[in-house]
Amino acid sequence: MRMHTLPGIFAVLATIAVPVLANGPAPPSRQEIRDGMAIPSEGDLLRGLRDGVGFVRSRRQAEGLFPVLAREEFGSETLPPAGPFVAAVCPHDDHLYAGHVYLHAIAGIRAPRVLMIGVFHAARLWNLEGKLVFDRYVAWHAPLGPVRVDPLREELLAALPEDDVVVDDGMHDREHSLEAIVPFLQWYGGNDVTIVPVLVPYVTWDRLEELADHLADALAETIHRHGWVLGKDVAIVISSDAVHYGPDFDHAPFGEDAAAHERAAARDRDLAERYLSGPLAAERLRGLFEALVDPVDVRRYRIPWCGRFSVPFGLELTRRTAARLGLPVPVGRVLRYGTSLTEAEPRVPREVRDEGLGCTAPSNFHHFVGYLALGVEVPAGTR
């Protein structure tokens, strides 16, 4: 696929304003953010890497990690046939903690273009709510070489209402929820895979539906115009870790022992089965949204899933896009669930750890994170 030109990018992006804080301290500058990156971004050309410890950053690390993960999980260095998924929910925690769960989400992503729906953990720094965050980059850092941003981005931006979007490289530089997944897409999808990164900050349910409706219109129209097939030519990958449990997250309702871990994990599995398994439905996605956040004040967690906005948005986008394309209702299937306590760290070669791949947080009964892999398919025989 040919890479689009810089003039073409900036002609579209220059018309989109970045919000300014009405109150509170100024957000971090682009340089301040880049000073905190493991691999700083380069202009508007190459998005670097924020987390150089939890995520693979080099070819040597990738070659040491990914074959081990697949052998341990599936007994082979290649992933078993799955999908094709029209969408998937994938973790974004450290690769040594959640890597086995990533595999199940990525196994069914066959499309060469991936619309990535990410968490915006730092949205509070910009006081940002109710908009989708796109970037300007031509490509993103990945261990086998840069992964290009697909021209689909410009087509979507041209079709979306101006009030729906913010285009800001600094916001993407500050966020790790998508960079975690890019190496898996590249390793298992090949060097031709392209991405469209989007972050979802705070959003009310009504605004979430409105944004999903507008983006579904734009995405379905673009798919139709190019003669693409959802799942075959374009897929959606949604970034989310599940429960963040313990005093560090101000969330330990069951205590801090083995029984508490079991109850927290059981609650996660119940949420996934109740709201995400089976045919996607707006009322069920709203049920998940309201289980995770206070609908009156969406900046308050009820249960600290970091994908409290990205998952309902990404799956509602998937549902609406399929409907506009005349497809049956997509069906979600829980592929795997684990936590940082139950997932065994892969037995990677020593040189992989010596080169810096590691874990960025503790994992114990006082501090653990849940991981969900969900695959979404259009029922067989209906494509």
pLDDT of residue 161: 98
Candidates 129, 121, 77, 69; CA nearest to 95 is 69
pLDDT of residue 380: 79
Say what the pTM is.
Answer: 0.93
Task: Give the pLDDT band (50/70/90) at residue 23.
Answer: low
Got the DSSP string for 264-331? Answer: HHHHHHHHHHHHTSEE--HHHHHHHHHHHEETTEEEEESS-BTTTTHHHHHHHHHHHHHHHTTPPPPE
| CATH fold of the domain at 28-377 | Protocatechuate 4,5-dioxygenase; Chain B (3.40.830)
pLDDT of residue 7: 37
pLDDT of residue 30: 95
Tokens of residue 112, six digits: 């060469």
Stretch 274-286: mean pLDDT, rounded?
98
Segments making up each domain of the chain, as ranges: 28-377
d(CA 124, CA 335): 32
Tokens of residue 8, six digits: 């073409």
Tokens of residue 256, six digits: 């801090």
Stretch 6-35: mean pLDDT, rounded?
63
Q: Which pLDDT tens digit goes with each residue over 155-193?
A: 999 999 999 999 999 999 999 999 999 999 999 998 899
Task: Give the pLDDT band (50/70/90) at residue 3.
Answer: very low
Stretch 30-43: mean pLDDT, rounded?
97
Q: Which pLDDT tens digit goes with each residue over 340-368?
A: 999 999 999 999 999 999 999 999 999 99
pLDDT of residue 6: 36
Q: What percent of the chain has pLDDT over 70?
A: 93
Which residues touch 143 (CB under 8 Å, ≥6 apart)?
A: 56, 57, 58, 59, 61, 62, 183, 186, 187
Reply yes or no on whether the pLDDT at 5 is more than 80. no
Type of residue at 49: L
Stretch 18-31: mean pLDDT, rounded?
73
Stretch 88-111: mean pLDDT, rounded?
98
Stretch 138-159: mean pLDDT, rounded?
98
Reply yes or no on whether the pLDDT at 43 is more than 80. yes
Task: Give the pLDDT band (50/70/90) at residue 381.
Answer: low
Q: Are 361 and 367 in contact (CB under 8 A)?
A: yes
